[in-house]
Amino acid sequence: MTLKTYQKDLGLLILRIGIGAMFILHAIPKLTGGPAGWEGLAKFGLPFLPDGFIAIFFGFAAMAVELLGGLALALGKFHRVACLALAGVMFVAFTTKIGSVTGIGDFAKNAGWPLELLIVFVALFFTGPGRYVIGKKD
């Protein structure tokens, strides 16, 4: 292994742990929000969902993807599955935020964050987790 390889793997580790930790932190308030919070989360991202169980299920799923996906990303386990799931959540978040964009000048302010993370998860999907993972590589 060359130093360049170790640098790439260290960079991936830092990115995975940093982004994974942030998603865990984003998920904790959603977890504690309970069914009413999960329903609100789902209805915000997918307003066409009917009230009740279906909306609660989708909101819980989004929270679980952020929590478990963030953990899996940080650990390097189920890396590609976590990246796809997190990219899906970010795609929904982006479609929710894009409606508030009134011009090119406020795109980054209103819709940039979820699009940026969507790009990160797609890129991480293709790069793989790198050498530094917990246990064997997937």
Q: Is residue 134 part of a domain?
A: no
Domain count, the chain: 1
Which structure tokens are listed for 79? Answer: 């890396």
pLDDT in tens, 104-121: 888 888 889 999 999 999
Q: Is residue 37 part of a domain?
A: yes
Residue 61: closest CA among 31, 36, 87: 31
Residue 138: is its pLDDT beyond 60? Answer: no
Residue 35 · residue 56 · CB < 8 Å: yes
pTM (predicted TM-score): 0.91
Q: Is residue 137 part of a domain?
A: no
Report pLDDT for 103. Answer: 85
Position 128, amino acid: G
Q: Is residue 133 part of a domain?
A: no
What is the extent of the structural domain holding 80? 12-127
Report pLDDT for 1. Answer: 63
Q: Is residue 29 part of a domain?
A: yes
Residue 129: closest CA among 82, 67, 85: 82
Non-local CB neighbours of 119 within 8 Å, separated by 6+ positions: none
